[in-house]
Amino acid sequence: MAKETKFIQVKPHQVEATIDMWQNFGWELMGAPQEIKTQDVQVFDYQSNDGTKYYKTTKGEHYTKITFQRDKSMPNYDQIVALENAYYSNPERPSKPVEPVYKSPARLSVFFIILAIAGIVLFFVANYNIIFIGIGGLFILLNVIKILTYNSRHAKLKAEFDNATDEYKKNCEIYSKNLEAYEEAVKNKNEALGRAQALMG
């Protein structure tokens, strides 16, 4: 007669409820639950320059160990194991895909325009210092470049957006299937205990 054994560690106040729960899936208590309590342990960590010693403290444990046994030849064994696995599974809800948003590139840079104007103004204020007119001219040139390259930048961003949209649609299909599987797993989990109790009864 083949038997299987399971060891479970729980907090002392959870012992009775744990035993009742696992008995729903054919597990029988073997012996008395064993309460285990260990003391805090201090281990030397380091010593400071002034000679002070510092220690790390590892908190002691307090739990109860429960031993269960189940007969593999019991009636409806395979069904009960499947129900147990369903009940103790933790289905993870799939994440919904994020829809991409297209952001058109700017034709002009307000920041560059402000700097260009500042450079030109400073040119006149600073006794026609050529450095400032050069700065103003540089930022005017950068804005011209932005205007001239707008179409190519727009085309590149649009292509990236279209690819992201196609990927989003594929991910939505996958999400829909995963969501159905998740909801089915939750349903099975919720029904598993009652079905197991009926088989055991």
Q: What is the pLDDT of residues 68-126, one digit of tens each?
A: 999 999 999 999 999 999 999 888 999 999 998 888 766 666 665 666 666 566 556 65
What pLDDT score does 177 carry? 95
Q: Rounded to whole angstroms, how far apart are CA atoms 182 and 184?
A: 5
What pLDDT score does 147 carry? 73
Residues contacting residue 194 through CB under 8 Å, at least 6 positions apart: none
What pLDDT score does 7 carry? 95
* C-beta separation of 158 from 104 below 8 A: no
Burial environment of residue 27 by CB neighbours within 10 A (0 to 12, 13 to 18, 19 or more) = buried
Instruction: Return the bridge partners of 66, or none.
Output: 8
Residue 115: name the closest of 144, 140, 84, 88 by CA: 140
Q: pLDDT tens string for the chain (201 positions)? A: 689 999 999 999 999 999 999 999 999 999 999 999 998 888 888 888 888 888 888 888 999 999 999 999 999 999 999 999 999 988 899 999 999 888 876 666 666 566 666 656 655 665 555 665 566 666 666 667 777 777 887 888 889 889 999 999 999 999 999 999 999 988 888 899 999 999 987
